[in-house]
Amino acid sequence: MAKINRNFTKLPGSYLFSETARRAAAFAAKNPGKKIIKLGIGDATQPLAPSVIKAMHDAVDDMAAKETFKGYGPDFGYDFLIDAIAKNDYAARGVDIGIDEIFVSDGAKSDCGNIGEIFSVDNRVAVCDPVYPVYVDSNAMAGRAGDFGADGRWSNLIYMPCTAENGFAPELPSEVPDIIYLCFPNNPTGAAATKEQLKMWVDYAAKNGSVILYDSAYEAYITDPEIPHTIFEIEGAKECAIEFRSFSKTAGFTGTRCAYTVVPKALVREGVQLNSLWARRQSTKFNGTPYIVQRGAAAIYTEQGKIECRKIIDYYMNNAKVIREGLIKAGLEVFGGVNAPYIWAKTPNGMPSWDFFDMLLNKVNVVTTPGAGFGPSGEGYIRLTAFGDSEATKEAVERIIKLL
């Protein structure tokens, strides 16, 4: 008889965003007349930039002619996209990343979830708390997390609490992890990491032989010029870090799907380049992001594409400001939303975050994300996303102000 991966049965409930969507859908079904405003999952709402659309239309035409038709693409992405990434996202910041260190994929979520395959199951893993649930759940599925306890913690994971008290900056754990997940600008707290803070982690990982899995999906939302956009701006990071980037939030590709992961060749553990392991994994299990999508992604790096994407990011960051200021006016203690598209707010009077989620859904028909869904230290917080429509965002904030 086939045996199942029992690690899956240890996972509590459903995936966070599936649960929030389920509750919102159940409310909508019972209340068909109500206008629900969704500020929960960080999903783009603005159309793709015109340059992206034009490039994708042209790419569709390429597929229509024998001379330009494309079948399977290169395993790790087309040169036209990889070159643009290396030049614009790295060389322009003084960082030298080789084209054979960049792996184009269909999403940072997939890459963050899949990267664990190149690491042994007995690595000790550290995560921030609260944290993007994919890092935790994918390690639990692999059998690296241990058992899920009544306290909301996995027995084998090392939790690094990020709280208002420490400015949502994780501190070095007392037990040394082999793998360290970091995400800056942070999902869900909206906190950004300074060069000094990242240097502390790079030095720590280098000293201990740990590997940092750095999720930089929200770097385009950084407004402070002193904040690094890539961990590779920190000296020594190429020897200890892997970086995940996404076009989802940078250019509204949540439905289009395109991202990339940088695995430097200088990153070696047990005498093996991790780059070669990831290359082997990807070429075996992944057949590449569609040509049409990669053409669209490359258009983001044209002069016109950059202007258009900046406009969309500014639109979302204006929403962030509206949410921040509105929630402060409503009397909540508010964090994030300055270098990130997420606003992290304390619930009123210490209300449990799922209760506050339900209250906002039921009373003012606004969908948010409860902080507890991101980990035990997220309890007592709620997350709102700036990726909504601007009019709907204003209306949601007004409804919350009126309610509180």
| Residue whose CB is less far from ligand MLT, 86 or 220 | 220
User: Shortest CA distance to 228 belongs to which of 242, 214, 239, 240?
Assistant: 214
Nearest to 181 by CA among 135, 117, 140, 147: 135
Residue 42 or 326 with smaller CB distance to ligand MLT: 42
Q: Does 190 bind ligand MLT (CB under 6 A)?
A: no
How big is the site for ligand MLT, counted in residues (CB under 6 A)? 6
Q: Does 261 bind ligand MLT (CB under 6 A)?
A: no
Piece in contact with ligand MLT (CB under 6 A), picked from 40-48, 64-72, 234-242, 270-278: 40-48
Nearer to ligand MLT, 132 or 184 (CB): 132
CB of 41 to ligand MLT, least distance (A): 4
The nearer residue to ligand MLT, 43 or 62, going by C-beta atoms, is 43
Instruction: Considering only the stretches 38-46, 79-87, 92-100, 121-129, report the one whose residues sit in contact with ligand MLT under the rule CB under 6 A.
Output: 38-46
Residue 15 CB: number of other CB atoms within 10 A?
13
Looking at residue 221, what DSSP letter applies? G
Residues 106-125 that bind ligand MLT (CB under 6 A): 109
Nearer to ligand MLT, 90 or 135 (CB): 135
Q: Are 103 and 242 in contact (CB under 8 A)?
A: no
Give the nearest distance from C-beta 383 to ligand MLT in angstroms: 8
3-state helix, strand, coil in the chain (%, to 5): 45, 15, 40
Binding mask 127-146 for ligand MLT (x = CB under 6 A): -----x--------------
Pick 86 or 372: Cβ nearer ligand MLT: 372
Could you give the CA distance from residue 277 to residue 283 in angstroms, rounded to a whole number? 10
Position with the least CB separation from ligand MLT: 42
Q: Give CA angle at 78 (55, 67), nearest 5°.
A: 70
* Of residues 164, 173, 90, the one with CA closest to residue 336: 164
Q: Is 245 in the site for ligand MLT (CB under 6 A)?
A: no
With contacts defined by CB under 6 A, name the span among 41-49, 140-148, 272-280, 359-367 that binds ligand MLT: 41-49
The one among 21, 41, 200, 404 contacting ligand MLT by CB under 6 A: 41
Stretch that binds ligand MLT, among 36-44, 95-103, 135-143, 173-181 (CB under 6 A): 36-44
Task: Select 247 or 291, whichever has its Cβ closest to ligand MLT.
Answer: 247
Q: How far is CA 219 from CA 193, 244, 245, in A?
A: 11, 11, 8
- Rounded Cα distance between 293 and 53, Å, is 10
Q: How far apart are CA 252 and CA 256, in angstroms?
A: 8
- 187 makes contact with ligand MLT (CB under 6 A): yes
Three-state secondary structure call for residue 265: coil
Instruction: Report the nearest approach of ligand MLT to the CB of residue 339 (Å).
Output: 16
Stretch that binds ligand MLT, among 35-43, 224-232, 281-289, 356-364 (CB under 6 A): 35-43
Residue 301 contacts residue 127 (beta carbons within 8 Å): no
Closest CA to 154 of 354, 17, 12, 9: 12
With binding defined as CB under 6 A, does residue 42 bind ligand MLT? yes
Q: State the number of CA atoms in the 13 A half-sphere of 31 facing the CB.
A: 14
Half-sphere exposure of residue 245: CA atoms within 13 angstroms, side-chain side = 25
Residues in 351-370 at the binding interface with ligand MLT, rule: CB under 6 A: none
Q: How far is the CB of 46 from ligand MLT (least distance, A)?
A: 15
Which residues fall within 8 angstroms of residue 209, CB to CB, at 6 or more apart?
A: 178, 269
Given the rule CB under 6 A, which residues bind ligand MLT? 41-43, 109, 132, 187
